[in-house]
Amino acid sequence: MSAKSSRRTASPQFQERYQLFYGGKWVAPKTKKYFPSISPRDGAQLAEVALAGEADVDAAYRAAADAFPTWSSLPGVERGKYLYRIARLLQDRAREFAVAETLDVGKPIKESRDFDVPMAAAHFFYHAGWADKLRWAMPGHDLRPLGVVGQVIPWNFPLLMLAWKLAPALACGNTVVIKPAESASLTCLKFVSILQEAGLPA
Q: What is the CATH number of the domain that holds 52?
A: 3.40.605.10
Q: What is the share, in percent, of the chain residues with pLDDT greater than 90?
A: 85
CA dist 16 to 49, 56, 117, Å?
9, 21, 23
Give the per-residue pLDDT at 2: 41
Question: Is position 184 within any domain?
Answer: yes
Q: Say what the pLDDT of residue 135 is.
A: 78
Does residue 145 lie within any of the structural domains? yes
Is the pLDDT score of 168 beyond 80? yes
What total number of domains does the chain contain?
A: 1
- Mean of the pLDDT values across residues 115-130? 97
Taking residues 164-190, report their average pLDDT: 97
SS3 label, residue 37: strand
The whole-number pLDDT of residue 9 equals 56
| pLDDT above 80 (res 158) | yes
How many CA atoms lie less than 13 Å away from 119 in the CB half-sphere? 14
On whether residue 180 sits in a domain, the answer given is yes
Tell me what pLDDT residue 121 has. Answer: 98
- Other C-beta atoms closer than 10 Å to the C-beta of 39 total 18
Q: Tell whether the model's pLDDT for residue 1 goes beyond 50.
A: no
Q: Has residue 29 been placed in a domain? A: yes
**39 found inside a domain:** yes
Where residue 8 falls among pLDDT bands split at 50, 70, 90?
low
Does residue 77 lie in a domain region? yes
| Dihedral sign computed on CA atoms, order 9, 15, 21, 24 | negative
Domain that holds residue 150: 17-198
pLDDT, mean of residues 1-30: 79
The verdict on residue 191 lying in a domain is yes
Q: Is there a domain that residue 12 lies in?
A: no
CB under 8 Å to 85, separation ≥6 — which residues?
198, 199
